Amino acid sequence: MSLILPDYFQTALSQINTAEIEGKESNPQIDEYLKAVGMPSDDDIPWCAAFVCWCLGQHEHQHPGVPTARSLLQLPNKLEYPELGCLVVLKRGKFRWQGHVGFYLDHYLDHLYLLGGNQNNRVGIGMYSMKKVLGYRVPV
């Protein structure tokens, strides 16, 4: 039996280890992610939502095209439980607009493993508390 991964998730996997450049310079690939949400070239600004929107856009999947993680909660296909490759939107920070978004990989006990952008300043895998989950979505 072979596993079929969503096209946008395969694209996300291909970007692992794309990293910010320290200093004034900006990684041209991250600039491409930012362009997907109308943001200027600057890999020092939060870019997790830009990465997700860029991955979706590479395969003409619907996305809000704005640079906030919580904007991805607007996608219509809600899930009660996560599936491999679905979007996971998390709470982050002190303000209601703040958040983080990535693609679901797995979970263990009360933690999720997400593939996402701007995780330790790179595209990579991070572990997050399930208590921070705001919602799961599957792109159209």
Look at residue 65 and give its three-state secondary structure.
coil
Residue 1 has what pLDDT?
61
Look at residue 117 in the predicted model and tell me its pLDDT: 98
pLDDT tens-digit profile of 36-81?
A: 999 999 889 999 999 999 999 999 999 999 999 999 999 999 999 9
60-90 in b/e burial notation, b at 16+ Cβ within 10 A?
Answer: ebebbebbbbbbbbebeeeeeebeebbbbbb
Return the pLDDT at 140. 79
Q: Tell me, what's the pLDDT at 96?
A: 83
Q: Residue 134: what pLDDT? A: 98
Structural domains of the chain in order of their starting residue, each with its CATH number: 7-137 (3.90.1720.10)
Each residue's pLDDT tens digit, 75-112: 999 999 999 999 999 999 888 889 999 999 999 999 99
Confidence tier at 25 by pLDDT (50, 70, 90): very high
Tokens describing residue 8: 């946008």
Q: Where are the beta strands (DSSP E) in 32-110?
A: 78-79, 87-91, 99-108
How many alpha carbons fall within 13 Å on the CB side of residue 81? 2
Residue type, 113: Y
